[in-house]
Homo-oligomer: A and B are copies of this chain.
Amino acid sequence: MSDRLADVCVVGGGFAGLMAARALTRAHKEVVVLEARDRLGGRVHTLSFEGAPLDLGGQWIGPTQDRIERFARTEGFDTFVTHGEGQHLYVSGNKTKRFAGTIPPLGPLALGWLGYGWFELDRLAKQVPLDAPWTAKRAREWDGQTLATFLDRHVRSGSARKMFRVAIETVFACDPEDVSLLHALFYIHAAGNLDMLLSTDKGAQRDRFITGAQPVAERLAENGGATIELDSPVRRIEQLRDGVRVSASRMTVRASRVIVAIPPTLAGRIDYDPVLPAARDQLTQRMPQGSVIKCLAVYSEPFWRREGLTGQSLSSDGPLHVTFDASPKSGSPGVLLGFLEGTSARKLADRSTEERRAIVIDNFARVFGARAKNPIHYVDRCWASEPFTRGCYAAYLPPGVWTSYGAALRTPIGRIHWAGTETATRWNGYIEGALQSGERAAAEVLAELA
């Protein structure tokens, strides 16, 4: 096997790795990107059906996500606003209600508690320093409890708590029982506030790429000029006296430094020589990926629009708790998007696509009526089953991890630097965070190479 030579080797061809590679090639460094899959984009993957792009992974960008917005604009990737004309649906048992905006039509008491919990989370989130959440004044207290414990204590209405569960699933792809309150507060603060995370018309679900999202990642690669090697899962990273040797299945790259830009749990599976320090290894033992299955049903037209519906719905019944209109800009064909998240995703992850299809289509029909029963196409993606992702949207931190291991998250180890959206301080978990992390890791490397 021949050794390839480069200044820097980047592990992972998602937005984080590609952004790092681009920043380095712009500074005239030779870069080899090793990507495990036969495609670029990582957690972003666009298929097409009869000419219409179908995003099976990340698809949205929104206000204050400046890096991705700027890159897309410069490179001529036009966006359009997620279909929002009409009313959303709120489904509870046999009842379906129409509503507008982010807040579902609950009773006044539940709405009061929903508002109070929302306000408290936003208020506490602001107290979490984004670059070092473990230094928050109340860090130990917040990191010692789950988000479920917070809701139990502060939201004294069952229906308001149910809505919070849905909101938390939608953001973290896990249940409130799984995640540290401190992590939830950090994540909210990293996005700005809860509304930025949850809102479609004013937040993270606002804009979509006309081409779908994956071509944007591909452009980032072309634009960067690094050498890209697909089908190259990295198994081993050796630190030598004067550089690193990164071994993938088909090739070995020798470089001065390496940037590892893959989910933390996968970074922890690489064989390192010398072995990594305890703090880093134990950190990656404690950063599980969320659980989400993204489900898309294609119809000859977006029939719900003619009934004055946006295609957005909310329900605590499930298994789908939220849906969106994912039709292309033209509106033809019509595409309904449903997310299976947290427990729903875990229950259905290891079923066949056919079984899931039946369950999901039945759920769409319960929300949008009989016309939803006969899609012309169905596709879904269980990200936890993907060996080179193992869960989406991102890693979440269970209780105790930020306060005990947070300092190990970005700290380079010798010649190894860490990128990936999980290492971002703004829009952690999003494409924007991936880009920020790539920039930051590239800057670290450039400072060392200078």
Known interface pairs A144-B148, A145-B148, A288-B286. Does A281 touch B384 (Cβ–Cβ under 8 Å)?
Answer: yes
Out of B176, B282, B387, which one reaches A289, CB within 8 Å? B282
- Quick one: which of B144, B179, B268, B349 contacts A149, CB cutoff 8 A? B144
Number of copies: 2
Distance A193 CA – B144 CA, assembled complex (angstroms): 24
Q: Write out, one digit per residue, whether chain A residues 370-399 have a CB within 8 A of any chain B CB (1) or not (0).
A: 000000000000101101001100000011
Complex CA gap A265/B268 in Å reads 10
A391 to B268, CA, bound (A): 14
Contact with B along A274-295 (1 / 0, CB 8 A): 0101110110011111010000
- Chain B residues contacting A343 (CB-CB under 8 Å) are 404
- Contact: A285 with B282, CB < 8 Å? no
In the bound complex, residues from chain B placing their C-beta under 8 Å from that of A385 are: 275, 277-278
Q: Which of A148, A268, A349, A399 counts the most chain B CB atoms within 10 A?
A: A399
How many residues of chain A have a CB within 8 Å of chain B? Answer: 48
Compute how far the CA of A289 lies from the CA of B391 in the bound complex, rounded to whole angstroms.
21
Contact B398 A400 (CB under 8 A): yes
Contact present for A285 and B391 (CB under 8 Å): yes
Taking CB as reference atom, which chain B residue is nearest A280?
A: B350
Known: A145-B146, A175-B404, A400-B177. A387 touches B275 (CB 8 A): yes
Give min CB distance, A422 to chain B, whole Å: 13
- Pull 29 A–B residue pairs with CB atoms less than 8 Å apart, ordered by A: A144-B146, A145-B145, A145-B146, A145-B149, A148-B399, A174-B400, A175-B400, A177-B403, A178-B398, A178-B401, A235-B235, A235-B271, A268-B269, A269-B269, A275-B385, A277-B349, A277-B350, A277-B385, A278-B346, A278-B385, A278-B391, A282-B288, A282-B346, A282-B390, A285-B390, A286-B288, A398-B399, A398-B400, A399-B399
Within 8 A of B (CB), among A266-320: 268-269, 271, 275, 277-279, 281-282, 285-289, 291
Contact A146 B282 (CB under 8 A): no
